[in-house]
Amino acid sequence: MNNIRDEWMSEFLENSVYRLDESTRMNKISLKSIEESNIWKKPNESSNSIGNQIIHICGNITQYIIASLGEQDDLRNRDAEFSISDGFTRSELIQKLEDTVHKAKLVLDNCSKSQLLKKRVVQGYDLSGIGIVIHAVEHYSYHTGQIAFWTKQLINKDLGFYDGRDLNIKNEN
């Protein structure tokens, strides 16, 4: 029974890291596809720029995985993530994103069974370590979709996320 649990947790963490890497890959493609001047452009006043989205993703991953699951102080200032209107270039945003995801992956790589099962309060929510990882990965994916959508609006072009991959292959049982 213990080996099954260990295998399951390893599989869960490996797939979570894979999803973090996939979102990072897609966000880098989006950032590299737009003009530098469009990084901080907002679709409207109710929406956020791609720059704000990247800063927000980094804040969320830091709060949930690096600080909470990694048992470090939570220093996040969420409101500031949306008030920034410039100050980071494309390359600085990519570097910030890569650094944040790298730190999160280190936490996940060193995560123990007890850390994954331990309940914590994060952002007012009572979550296990597993719940924290699910939230962070899902949240990152959600905003990656928003960034891709806004990028496509700006450049009117497919981003080629799946170039070279046949997505029409049927499932095998």
| Residues with Cβ within 8 Å of residue 165, at least 6 apart in sequence | none
Q: What pLDDT is attached to residue 6? A: 85
pLDDT digits (tens, 9 = 90+) for 42-79: 999 999 999 999 999 999 999 999 999 999 999 999 99
Q: Is the pLDDT of residue 96 over 60?
A: yes
Band of the pLDDT at 91, cuts 50, 70, 90? Answer: very high
Within 13 A of 19's CA, how many CA atoms are on the CB side? Answer: 21
DSSP letter assigned to residue 45? T
Q: Which domains are delineated in the chain?
A: 2-155 (1.20.120.450)
Report pTM.
0.93
